[in-house]
Amino acid sequence: MLDLKLLQKDFELFAQKLKNKKVDENLLKILSELFAQLKKEKAILEELQAFQNKFSKELSNSINKEELKIQLSENKAKISSLNQKVNALQNELQTISHSIPNIPDDDVPIGKDEDENIELKKVLEPPRFDFEPKEHFDLAAKLDWIDFVRGVKISQSRFCVLKNEAALLNRALINYMIDFNCKRGFKLVNVPFLVNSNTMFGTGQLPKFKEDMYKIDAEDLYLISTSEIPVTNLYANEIIPKEMLPLKMTCYSACFRKEAGSAGRDTRGIIRQHQFEKVELVSITKPEQSDEVFEQMVSCGSDLLSSLGLAHRHMMLCTGDLGFSAAKTIDLEVWLPGQNRYREISSISNCRSFQARRAKIRYKNEQGKNELVHTLNGSSLAVGRTLVAIIENYQDKDGKIHIPDVLKKYF
């Protein structure tokens, strides 16, 4: 969450940055009023405490001892009452801050939505076909690779069953991604897919996105929407020795999202499912390391796509499209010939100290003082969307799918 002291110190500057991230102006107005009220009450409290300190020392030598005793007693009651008021204001500010997003970095372009994201570069040329390329769901249906009907029957809409070579290709992709990331210096971890509310709070899913989460009835457990959540929180409430940083990890997991805000979008195929799989990158760094590690993570995801022969582009997200916890994000968008467009396949984000403040993840700096770490995360890659990309990019005119060379030994 945000550093409230920093926000209060230069409210107008940071309020504008938050407006750029589509924070409700009424909420910012409430914050401003609370800051002003808190400042006023603290000033009064300091005066009362100064009076108490000064005249408590003079009580024994005062000629009007009884009258001063009464004044001090009344003043003490005022201090107690005002302390409660100040604490209540601070608690209210803290509660509101839990739902306020991270502040974007200065070099993030200002924009309203995804249409104002900035293309940084393209990597590889999209394939050319001498026939009209089909979308993945048409190809998969003819090959008996994906069973949408039975997926809905045993679950509900936005679930499917991978079959035959699609199931094998899915597993091959997971193993290849993990091996690729490990060779880049990311250590493999395996984590639970169910986590408690403190863990969900630490990375910013709660309380803001409660409606998008699947919760277990009568238990403090949620299905994860990304392995960023448990992996980042492995070090919650810990002080990490500086020699251990940066921590660079990779993790496979199933992911679960209600997709409450995506009604009507990508209703065909497996682009947007309630259950999907990802191989994630998570890093925990010193503040001065996070920009370099961010570039390493972007390169890892991009090089992975290149190794699969998949054309893609790097997109810098504008302020209006940034995620809740992100200070900066670069999306990797893969070319899908069936749709004749690029689609997001990975988001790599630097969250700076935002998640670390929520999860209380610190390290001992060079001066021996506790300091908040920086946290970063990114998909490397979304497995289902990579499967889609291979199906569409490696199709031939007979509707058969060729397998990228690097996957053959896994297949």
Task: Please report which confidence band the pLDDT of residue 263 belongs to, taking 50, 70 and 90 as the band edges.
Answer: low
pTM tops 0.85, yes or no:
yes
Residue 64 confidence (pLDDT) = 78
Predicted local distance difference test score (pLDDT) of residue 369: 95
| Residues facing residue 285 across a β-bridge | 374
User: What's the pLDDT score for residue 55?
Assistant: 80
pLDDT tens track for 38-88: 999 999 999 999 988 888 877 767 667 778 788 889 999 999 999 999 999
* pLDDT tens by residue, 326-368: 999 999 999 999 999 999 999 999 999 999 999 999 999 999 9
Residue 267 predicted with pLDDT over 80: no
352: alpha, beta or left, given left = phi > 0 and alpha = psi -120 to 50? left
Compute and round to an integer the Cα radius of gyration of the chain. Answer: 27
Query: What is the layout of strands, in order, in the sheet containing 361-364?
Result: 238-240, 361-364, 370-372
Residue 6 CA to residue 58 CA, distance in Å, equals 39
| pLDDT tens column, 287-306 | 999 999 999 999 999 999 99
Whether the per-residue pLDDT at 260 is higher than 60: the answer is no
Average pLDDT taken over every residue of the chain: 94
CA 275 from chain center: how many Å?
A: 18
Least confident of 53-67, 225-239, 242-256, 391-405: 53-67
pLDDT of residue 61: 72
